[in-house]
Amino acid sequence: MVHLAESLTFSGRKVVAAWASLPFPAHRGRSLPEILCSHLPAVPWALLSPCGEQNISGCFAQSVVLRGIPKENPISCPGNPPASPLHTCGSSEEALQGYLDALFPGVLSTSHLLEQPCPTRPPYPQFFSRLLTSQGFLLDRPPRYSSPAVESIPVLAALQSAPVLHQLLSGLSKDLQKLKVRRWPSFFTAGVEEEEFHEALEELRTLAQCYKTGFDESEDEADSD
């Protein structure tokens, strides 16, 4: 974890955002390149961190884990031309890394592929769609009879050092700036000095700027106020 944190939090950045696709939408019997190509040009995950905006693309660095997809699926059919560059990869691990490199060019991306799915047996809530098999794979149409309980699901998860964190950190800084510590004696009884509070607030502003990618004059003026 120490090495992972160091690889994601360079250039003064200290915070990462969490993303997940739970379950990861995949049809049983398809190869990993086929599954990944069906999710272009965007990764089918949702932002878990409270950053507000969801449709933010791009990041500075990321670590991605895909679990629950069998590795033994064929990469390509012999005798047929490859359907995509991902179908030319020699392994499922290479296909996942190639998928990330294509979506996030120039970004430091590390990936891990694990065959073990995420278990969802009781007391895990059964709030899944009827289009899922008991192993969490997608069906083309709902079953005619009652769906079996979902016992496991494939999951795609990621930690990203991304510009979306600028909104979270700058918003937190603005909220804390409104706080008048002199009106709260509990701050001082807890050992917090007013000077230390303002130093921490300035460090938070600086940290937020580390995630900014474009120059927004109006926002900078608001921060200076």
- Lowest average pLDDT, out of 29-38, 125-134, 189-198, 208-217, goes to 208-217
Which tokens hold the place of 48? 């878990």
Sign of CA dihedral 54, 59, 65, 66: positive
Distance CA 151, CA 168 (A): 36
Output the pLDDT for position 56. 60
Output the pLDDT for position 99. 96
Output the pLDDT for position 22. 93
Distance CA 134, CA 171 (A): 42
- Whether 82 has a pLDDT exceeding 90, the answer reads no
DSSP 138: B
Contact 35, 130 (CB under 8 A): no
pLDDT tens across 11-58, in order? 999 999 999 999 999 998 888 999 999 999 999 999 999 887 655 668
pLDDT tens across 111-139, in order? 999 999 999 998 999 999 999 999 999 99
**What average pLDDT score do residues 103-109 get?**
94
What are the extents of the domains in the chain?
1-161, 166-210
Nearest-Å Rg of the Cα atoms of the chain is 22
Provide the Cα torsion 66, 67, 69, 71; round to 10°: 90
Which tokens hold the place of 47? 């932002």
